[in-house]
């Protein structure tokens, strides 16, 4: 019984924090990832959807019916809080069967067995959550949420505290849920790779305001703010404040001219670029990594990150070296509204 | 022959077995000090009980256990303390819940008041209750009218016991209700549990261990009460749920024996009482270890 969920003009007023307005639409088969730095209001949004925080104005519609006044238990929404909120005093079986048990469903036992099998939990059925690994606990949480036949799954930080393998596995499970079972989902996450693996649309929150709302391609092509730009993998992100002119024309002024209201982002500059390259800086650090060498260069008081992919044909720069690099004007991504960001040109 | 056993996980270095994990080194002086201090306290706990057990011959113990008077005193004590525990369950646990989960003006004052009975000398508790229920006062008439007279009745015993022992249940249940993770509760609510169902299936079971610990303290405190009883309910006459002969609680009974110089009997009755109290305590602990009690499920216990 998946449903279409629409959030319109949702605003929440807490002590010293205002969230919204947020508009949102999730249909069966959709998954929305809520992105944003800590304190952006992601958890507040989720807890409001689940009915644990009062909203100031706006509507939450399930298949066109306003559920904003309903209590959490009447929203048929599978809310998984941060840290999962498993029942420590109930076995895996008891956790998964909880919703059906309190609803006195006659098929509770059979459905519990089915869910345990679906999530490879049958052998762990009699264990308590404290005896499970992180990945096993996540599977219990999702099986438990599905047992209530939720119209929407709302999950706060699903990947928290998982190792790399468990993260990938959970990504697959969530992707499966969305594609095969068509359960709509809203997930909060910090992890870009996993967000892209699960979600087909994104909301970027910052300071309680929606900074961007788009599908994955748009987010990649035109990140709206510095957070989104870092999230989609731009190595160099400068917000408008960092580009304020300091007199002499240089990289900073050149970037400021091309920035949007929120700043500017670009991937790795062209390096090595030969003696004719336009910009010069001093190497602060050079770290090898899985995708080559990451070199941090201070140029015109900006910290610019260069990525040198393998094979390493040129000499590897060390701290203190002077290096020259170029930035392709076509690779620049203005953030926010295109225009005059810093008031001076 | 130690070398014949192959190492399960030989390190990269070679065949020598890994040394046992180094334990925290304790200096001999420090260790001796710890042993001496803890040992002294243990001796203080155990030696008086030993003296009690050995003062009266075993035969006296058996005859004390068979004496009608002693049995009546024991029955009254267990009955009244049981009622006090029941009262704590009915009144003190909800109060602990309110203090843990509700914000209201004056909460800090209430919290301080709850601890008051713990610090008031118990003789004063008896005196206070005595003055409160003086014959002729409205409260006296009221208690007579509803059939719960307090002077020298089991109700008086229960009243004193609840006064001195209920705070332990309030404090313990407040702490354990506060320790229940809100997110676990929210998960239950989102899964379809109303507030009452969530309380019964999640909050209460999770807080139960602390509540039980509080109730045990309450019971222990109640059975050992004497100060307040000496004033309010020195002797208990049949009535209410108690229909035996005129008697008193075990503590008052022993005190009487001591007053009249009957030391052997005092020691014998004390020993019998100790056996029962200790037996109940061991029973609860065994239950907890064996896992059949419902309040330790899912815990990481060895």
Residue with tokens 């693996």, as numbered in its chain: A197
**Residues in chain A closer than 8 A to B176 (CB atoms):** none
Name all contacts of A330-333 with Cβ < 8 Å and 24+ positions apart.
A331/A266, A331/A267, A332/A255, A332/A258, A332/A264, A332/A265, A332/A266, A333/A222, A333/A223, A333/A229, A333/A234, A333/A264, A333/A265, A333/A266
The partner residues of A153 in beta bridges, in order of sequence, read A78, A185
Domain ranges of chain A: 5-221, 234-335
Class of domain A5-221: alpha beta
Mean pLDDT across the stretch B125-141?
90
C-alpha–C-alpha distance, residues B240 and A189, integer Å: 64
Does residue B17 surpass a pLDDT of 70? no
**What pLDDT shows up at residue B2?**
39
* Of B23 and A200, more confident: A200
C-alpha dihedral over B92, B93, B96, B97, to 10 degrees? Answer: -140
Closest CA to A209 of A18, A7, A4: A18
In the numeric block, which tokens belong to residue A153? Answer: 């799954």
Count of residues making up chain B: 302
**What pLDDT shows up at residue B105?**
92
Residues near A285 by beta carbon (within 8 Å), at least 6 away in sequence: A295, A296, A319
* Of B95 and B10, more confident: B95
**Closest CA–CA distance from residue B192 to any residue of chain A (Å):** 4
**What pLDDT shows up at residue B250?**
92
Does residue B21 surpass a pLDDT of 70? no
Mutate to test the interface with B, among A50, A75, A81 (most CBs of B within 10 A): A81
Does residue B301 surpass a pLDDT of 60? no
Instruction: Give helix A164-176 / helix A134-147 axis angle, nearest 10°.
Output: 20
Mutate to test the interface with A, among B192, B204, B207, B294 (most CBs of A within 10 A): B192
* Of A219 and B230, more confident: B230
Count of residues making up chain A: 345
CB interface of B with A, residues 176-215, below 8 Å? 181, 183-194, 197, 201-202, 205-206
B68-249 CATH fold: MetI-like fold (1.10.3720)
C-alpha–C-alpha distance, residues A17 and A94, integer Å: 38
- Cα first-last separation, chain B: 33
Mean pLDDT across the stretch B63-81?
91
Please tell me if residue A88 touches chain B, with a CB cutoff of 8 Å.
yes
ipTM of the complex: 0.81
Task: Judge whether B165 and B222 are in contact, CB under 8 Å.
Answer: yes
Give the number of A-B residue pairs with CB atoms closer than 8 Å.
88
**What pLDDT shows up at residue B176?**
94
Which of B192, B298, B300 faces A90 most closely, judged by CB atoms? B298
Weakest-pLDDT range from A48-62, B136-150, B279-293: B279-293
**Closest CA–CA distance from residue B3 to any residue of chain A (Å):** 36
Mutate to test the interface with A, among B103, B179, B191 (most CBs of A within 10 A): B191
Tens-level pLDDT at each residue, chain A (345 residues): 578 899 988 899 888 889 878 898 898 888 999 988 888 888 899 999 999 998 898 999 888 888 888 899 988 888 999 889 999 999 999 999 999 999 989 999 999 999 999 888 999 999 999 999 888 998 899 999 999 888 889 988 877 777 878 888 888 888 888 888 888 999 988 777 778 888 888 888 888 888 888 888 888 887 878 888 888 888 889 888 888 776 677 888 888 888 888 888 888 888 877 778 888 889 998 888 777 888 899 988 889 898 888 777 777 788 888 888 888 888 888 887 765 444 433
Percent of chain B with pLDDT strictly greater than 70: 88
Whole-model pTM: value is 0.78
Task: Judge whether A147 and B193 are in contact, CB under 8 Å.
Answer: no
């Amino acid at each position: 019984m998946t449903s279409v969920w629409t959030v319109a003009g949702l605003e929440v007023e807490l002590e010293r924090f205002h969230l919204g307005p947020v508009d949102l639409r999730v249909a069966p088969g959709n998954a929305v990832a809520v992105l944003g730095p800590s304190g952006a209001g992601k958890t507040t949004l989720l807890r409001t959807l689940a009915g644990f925080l009062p909203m100031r104005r706006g509507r939450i519609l399930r298949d066109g019916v306003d559920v904003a006044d309903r209590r959490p238990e009447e929203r048929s929404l599978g809310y998984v809080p941060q840290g999962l909120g498993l029942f420590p005093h109930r076995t895996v079986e008891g956790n998964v069967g909880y919703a059906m048990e309190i609803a006195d469903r006659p098929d509770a036992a059979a459905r519990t067995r089915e869910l345990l099998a679906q999530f490879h939990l049958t052998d762990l059925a009699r264990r308590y959550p404290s005896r499970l690994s992180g990945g096993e606990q996540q599977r219990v949480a999702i099986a438990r949420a599905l047992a209530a036949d939720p119209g929407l799954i709302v999950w706060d930080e699903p990947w928290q505290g998982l190792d790399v393998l468990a993260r990938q596995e959970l990504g697959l499970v969530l992707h499966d849920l969305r594609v095969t079972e068509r359960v709509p989902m809203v997930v909060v996450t910090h992890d870009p790779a996993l967000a892209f693996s699960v979600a087909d649309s994104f909301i970027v929150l910052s300071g309680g305001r929606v900074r961007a709302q788009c599908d994955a391609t748009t987010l990649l092509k035109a990140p709206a703010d510095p957070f989104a730009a870092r999230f989609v993998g731009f190595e160099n992100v400068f917000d408008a404040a960092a580009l304020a002119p300091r007199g002499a024309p240089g990289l900073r002024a050149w970037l400021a001219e091309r920035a949007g209201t929120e700043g500017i982002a670009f991937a790795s500059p062209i390096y090595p670029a030969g003696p004719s390259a336009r910009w010069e800086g001093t190497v602060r650090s050079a770290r090898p990594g899985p995708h080559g060498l990451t070199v941090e260069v201070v140029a015109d008081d900006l910290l610019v990150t260069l990525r040198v992919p393998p094979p390493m044909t040129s000499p590897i720069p060390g701290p203190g070296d002077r290096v020259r690099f170029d930035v392709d004007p076509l690779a620049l991504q203005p953030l926010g509204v295109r225009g005059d960001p810093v008031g001076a040109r | 022959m130690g070398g014949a056993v192959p190492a399960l996980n030989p390190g990269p270095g070679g065949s020598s077995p890994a040394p046992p994990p180094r334990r925290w080194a304790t200096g001999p002086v420090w260790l001796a000090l710890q042993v001496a201090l803890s040992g002294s306290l243990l001796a203080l706990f155990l030696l008086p009980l030993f003296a009690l057990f050995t003062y009266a011959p075993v035969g006296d113990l058996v005859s004390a256990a068979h004496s009608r008077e002693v049995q009546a005193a024991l029955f009254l004590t267990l009955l009244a303390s049981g009622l006090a525990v029941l009262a704590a369950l009915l009144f003190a646990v909800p109060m602990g819940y309110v203090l843990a989960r509700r914000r209201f003006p004056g909460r800090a004052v209430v919290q301080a008041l709850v601890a008051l009975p713990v610090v008031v000398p118990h003789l004063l508790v008896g005196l206070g209750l005595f003055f409160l229920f003086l014959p002729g006062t409205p409260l006296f008439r009221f208690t007579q009218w509803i059939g719960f007279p307090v002077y020298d009745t089991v109700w008086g015993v229960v009243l004193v016991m609840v006064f001195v022992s209920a705070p332990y249940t309030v404090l313990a249940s407040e702490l354990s209700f506060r320790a229940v993770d809100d997110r676990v509760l929210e998960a239950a609510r989102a899964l379809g549990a109303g507030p009452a169902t969530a309380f019964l299936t999640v909050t209460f079971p999770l807080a139960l261990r602390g509540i039980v610990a509080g109730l045990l303290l309450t019971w222990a405190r109640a059975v050992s009460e004497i100060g307040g009883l000496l004033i309010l309910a020195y002797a208990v006459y049949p009535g209410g749920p108690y229909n035996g002969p005129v008697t008193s609680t075990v503590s008052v009974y022993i005190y009487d024996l001591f007053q009249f110089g009957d030391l052997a009997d005092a020691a014998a009755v004390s020993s019998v009482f100790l056996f029962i109290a200790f037996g109940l305590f061991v029973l609860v602990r065994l239950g907890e270890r064996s896992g059949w009690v419902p309040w330790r499920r899912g815990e990481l216990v060895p």
